[in-house]
Every structure is written in C-alpha cells, then in structure tokens.
C-alpha cells in the first residue's frame, strides 16, 4: 500500500540526517571545522579592513567559532529544527503515509512498522521535534529508530611535549598504529587530552612501558585557573599496561584553549577551539625509558534530552571489562541502552561487539551477562577471542531467541583467560542496517 516504499523512506531519511550532520554535528566543537569555508573570524579578518567593524564583530564571531556543542548538543540540535523547512518535510511525510494515496496508515509508527523500516537515531529526533515525542511508539513499543552508537571515542585534541612547544599528536593518538605516540621524554613534560565532551576515563594501550613510575599529576580548567585533579591511575605512571586513568568529573570543569604557562599559549593556533582538557604531567626526575603509546581513548559524557533520556547521537559504551587476574574480571556498566526511545541494539549488522583497549597476548573467552529486550536476565558464553590487539573487535552473540540488549549485567559476566591485566569495552559499534550514502 502507498507509493513510499521502505527503500525510498530509508534513503530519504538517511539524506535528511546527512544534511543535519554536515550542517551541525561534523563541525562541532568549532562550528566550521572540517568544512571548506573559513571560520567566521578568518572570514571577517580577510573580508574587511574596517577596524570598527572588526572591533564590533570579531569577538562574538570567535565565541561562535569556539563553541563547544557536545554537552548541550541535544538542545542545540533541537533548536536547529525550528526553521520551517525541517518541520514541513517531516510533517509532509507523516501526513502522506496517513493519506489514502500513502496507504491510509493510522500513524507514522504504523507505517514504519508495516514496511519494517529502520531509521537513523538522529532522524528520530528530527521527527520527534517536528511531530511529537511518541511518533515512533506503537502499542507501547518503539518501532523504527535504530539505537545510537555506544562506544569509546578518540580525543578531539591530543598534544605531547613541553608546555609552550607542544606537538599535535591527535591523529597518532586516535589510531592503533603501534609505537607512534612517544611522551614524557623529560621531567615536567605533559600530555594534553581535549574532548568536546566531558569525560571521566582515559583509556590507553602502551607499546613501551615506562621503566619506572612517572609520578604523574593531573589538572583541569575550572574557568579561572588550572586546578589539581584527583585521579585513580591503574597505569602506575604509565609503567603498567592496565589501560585506565579515572576521576570524578569536577562540577566546575570548563572548556578552554590555553595551556598552563605563566603567559598562556593557545593549544590550537589554527582554530583556537575550546575543549574540555585534562593535562597530565610527569614529575619524576629520572625515567630511563619513557613510555610510548599505541592509542588513547575516552568514555564521553552521555548526551541526554531535557528528561534525561539518551539523545540520538553517539553515546558512551555499554560497559568496560577489566581483567584483574587469571579468569577474573571487573565489569563496570557505563551506560544502559535507551530501549524506550530506540530499538534495543542487537545482533543485526553486527551491532554488538567487544573492542580491545589493550593488546592481549592471551586468548579471552567472555560470558556476557545482560538484560534482554523484554527485561529478562540472560547470559551467553562467547567463542574464544584470540589474542586481541589494541582496537581489535569481536562480534557478540545473544542467547537463543533474544533480539536485543537493554543493559550489561556486571554481576553475571565472566571471563576465562590466563591474562592478568587489560581492558576491553562492550559497545554498539554499528546500526541494524547500512546507512545509505548521504
């Protein structure tokens, strides 16, 4: 029934979200980063030599260029839908599928369910903003919106070296090429980790261990000064490849673009983008062999709606699993799936996966404990994961008859391995179907 097939609807909505992501999400946190256009301040500086105009506009333009979007991304993107173009298109599709020519469906949810369409989670937010929050709800269940990705993330900025002469290692720190992030070559050297989202975990794999504890100290920007940050360092100053430094998110943590010099230097001279930064500093005078990292990752803060529900953009991982001894693990649930706004992530298109943070020289056999799509407790022993490398993945299976996962159950997970340390993540790393070209 109707002329709008599943294929047409999915392709059209993929293109719709593509327009939104190109316009807003990709440029964050610098609103014009990664676009062909120059930043607003660069444009004004080149387009006019009028000192009065520049005095009036450069400062507010720079504030727009530097705007951090992640914490308030849900509100920001919702504001984007206020122009009538978004509203009119979504309402037109909603009206069409309910018309005689469109199939006479009782609702958009009824149409999506009937043709078995799967929509990008961000498309769901566009429709919700333009129609209503319940537009994908049918008989008390959610139909259509795929779950947001849930994963660790690369840092948006990563610098190494001495303050005032830092090296931009963002690319090397974000990939799994081995032995390409040397740091702490001298006492008082730093690593600077910047993210558009607040975070409370720093994950890493070390290609070379420091020969001794680098005695690290950490700092964050409280809006007026760099302030000591209390951390739990499982790496023992990067001398142990145990994968994680954690801390409580300071309530006064503010984004910045300046380092800790007496006369502050700008981290990123090209964009001067403001990020949530943590600076970790070596304070040990003598370290015969400084550490070298393969990569660094973080668990970003969840992006939520005004009612504290997950929004349809990338989110933190479901859980972290830390190997602490032979056949022993500590599982930390990070973020549950939002099954009452999106379909539960499942096994379609290899959505559910494990991702190794560290290199493991031993095999790992993991038993996933979880709550299924109906809210029932379940477990599923996985096949062996053979000596996973940093960044290595393994597709997860669910118990027979289960189609999705609401949450990881820390108490019913288990591991069989001779490894005694290391971390891997339980993630939603893909959507239930491929996303058409934008």
Domain boundaries, the chain: 6-30+66-142, 157-299, 317-428
Running DSSP on this structure, what letter comes out for residue 230?
A: -
Q: 292 and 207 in contact (C-beta within 8 Å)?
A: yes
Q: DSSP characters for 133-164? A: TTTTEETTEE-SBPPPPB--B--SEEEEEETT
Predicted confidence band at 342 (pLDDT cuts at 50, 70, 90)? very high
- Condensed to tens digits (0 to 9), the pLDDT of residues 197-244 reads 899 999 999 999 999 999 999 999 999 999 999 999 999 999 999 889
Q: How far apart are CA 395 and CA 422, in angstroms?
A: 19
Residues of the chain above pLDDT 90, percent: 66
Q: Which of 381, 342, 343 is nearest to 133 (CA)?
A: 342
Question: What is the H or E stretch that residue 426 is in?
Answer: strand 423-428
Largest CA distance in the chain: 78
CB neighbours of residue 237 within 10 Å: 20
pLDDT at 32 exceeding the cut of 60? no
Question: What is the H or E stretch that residue 368 is in?
Answer: strand 364-372
Q: How far apart are CA 31 and CA 67, in angstroms?
A: 7
Q: Which pLDDT score, from 0 to 100, does residue 35 have?
A: 40
Q: Which pLDDT score, from 0 to 100, does residue 36 have?
A: 38
Q: 371 and 406 in contact (C-beta within 8 Å)?
A: yes
Mean pLDDT across 369-376: 97
Q: DSSP characters for 113-138? A: HHHT--B-HHHHHHHHHHS-TTTTEE
- Condensed to tens digits (0 to 9), the pLDDT of residues 424-435 reads 999 999 999 988
Residues of the chain above pLDDT 70, percent: 83
Q: Which of 91, 148, 137, 94 is nearest to 305 (CA)?
A: 148
Q: In this predicted structure, which of 123-127, 143-147, 264-268 has the lowest mean pLDDT?
A: 264-268
Running DSSP on this structure, what letter comes out for residue 269?
A: T
Q: Which pLDDT score, from 0 to 100, does residue 55 have?
A: 66
Q: Provide the whole-model pTM.
A: 0.87
Mean pLDDT across 17-24: 59
Q: Which of 104, 78, 60, 61 is nearest to 24 (CA)?
A: 78
Q: 203 and 243 in contact (C-beta within 8 Å)?
A: yes
Residues across the chain: 438
Q: DSSP characters for 6-39? A: HHHHHHHHHHHHHHHIIIIITT-SSTTTTSSSPP
- Condensed to tens digits (0 to 9), the pLDDT of residues 176-186 reads 988 899 999 99
Mean pLDDT across 287-314: 94
Q: Which pLDDT score, from 0 to 100, does residue 261 have?
A: 87
Q: Which pLDDT score, from 0 to 100, does residue 47 have?
A: 65
For residue 172, the Cα-to-chain-centroid distance in whole angstroms is 18
Q: Which pLDDT score, from 0 to 100, does residue 29 have?
A: 38
Q: Which pLDDT score, from 0 to 100, does residue 392 have?
A: 96
Q: How far apart are CA 320 and CA 276, in angstroms?
A: 22
pLDDT at 364 exceeding the cut of 60? yes
Q: Which of 286, 294, 277, 320 is nearest to 426 (CA)?
A: 320
Strand 199-208 relative to strand 292-300: parallel, antiparallel, unpaired? antiparallel
Q: Which pLDDT score, from 0 to 100, does residue 1 have?
A: 43
Q: 293 and 173 in contact (C-beta within 8 Å)?
A: yes
Give the chain's mean pLDDT: 87
Predicted confidence band at 81 (pLDDT cuts at 50, 70, 90)? low
Question: What is the H or E stretch that residue 86 is in?
Answer: helix 84-98
Q: What is the CATH number of domain 157-299?
A: 2.60.120
Instruction: Evaluate the omega torsion of the peptide bond into residue 29 and state whether it is cis, within 30 degrees of 0.
Output: yes
Could you tell me where the beta strands, DSSP code E, fall in 149-256? Answer: 157-162, 165-168, 181-182, 190-195, 199-208, 216-221, 226-229, 232-233, 244-246
């Amino acid at each position: 029934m109707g002329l709008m097939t599943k294929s047409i609807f999915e392709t059209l909505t993929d293109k719709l979200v593509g327009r939104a992501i190109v316009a807003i999400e990709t440029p964050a946190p610098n609103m014009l980063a990664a676009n062909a256009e120059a930043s607003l301040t660069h444009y004004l500086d080149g387009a006019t030599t009028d000192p009065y105009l520049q005095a009036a506009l450069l400062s507010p333009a720079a504030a727009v260029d530097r705007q951090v979007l992640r914490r308030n991304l849900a509100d920001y993107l919702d504001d984007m839908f206020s122009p009538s173009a978004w509203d009119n298109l979504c309402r037109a599709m909603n009206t069409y599928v309910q018309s005689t020519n469109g199939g006479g469906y009782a609702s958009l949810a009824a149409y999506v369910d009937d043709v078995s369409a799967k929509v990008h989670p961000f498309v769901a937010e566009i429709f919700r903003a333009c129609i209503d929050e319940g537009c994908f709800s049918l008989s008390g269940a959610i139909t259509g919106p795929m779950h947001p990705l849930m994963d660790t993330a690369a840092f948006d900025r990563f610098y190494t070296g001495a303050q005032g002469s830092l090296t931009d290692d963002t690319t090397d720190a974000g990939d799994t090429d081995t032995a390409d992030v040397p740091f702490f070559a001298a006492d008082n050297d730093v690593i600077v980790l910047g993210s558009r989202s607040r975070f409370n975990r720093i994950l890493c794999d070390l290609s070379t261990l420091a020969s001794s504890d680098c005695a690290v100290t950490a700092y964050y920007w409280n809006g007026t000064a760099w302030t000591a940050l209390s951390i739990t360092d499982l790496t023992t100053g990067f001398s142990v490849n145990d994968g994680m430094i954690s801390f409580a998110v300071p309530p006064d943590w503010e984004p910045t673009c300046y380092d800790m010099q007496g006369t502050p230097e700008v981290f990123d001279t090209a964009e001067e983008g403001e990020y949530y930064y943590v600076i970790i500093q070596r304070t040990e005078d003598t370290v015969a062999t400084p550490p070298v990292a393969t990569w660094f990752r973080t668990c970003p803060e969840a992006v939520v709606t005004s009612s504290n529900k997950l929004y349809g953009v990338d989110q933190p991982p479901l859980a972290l699993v830390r190997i602490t001894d032979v056949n022993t693990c500590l599982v930390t649930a990070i973020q549950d799936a939002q099954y009452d706004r999106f379909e539960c992530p499942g096994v379609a298109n290899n959505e559910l996966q494990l991702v190794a943070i560290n290199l493991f020289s031993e095999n790992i056999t993991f038993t996933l404990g979880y709550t299924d799509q109906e809210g029932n407790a379940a477990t599923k022993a996985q096949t062996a994961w053979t000596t996973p490398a940093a960044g290595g993945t393994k597709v997860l299976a669910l118990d027979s008859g289960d189609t999705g996962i609401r949450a990881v159950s820390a108490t019913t997970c288990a591991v069989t391995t001779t490894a005694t340390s290391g971390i891997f993540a339980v993630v939603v790393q893909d959507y239930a179907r491929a996303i058409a070209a934008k």
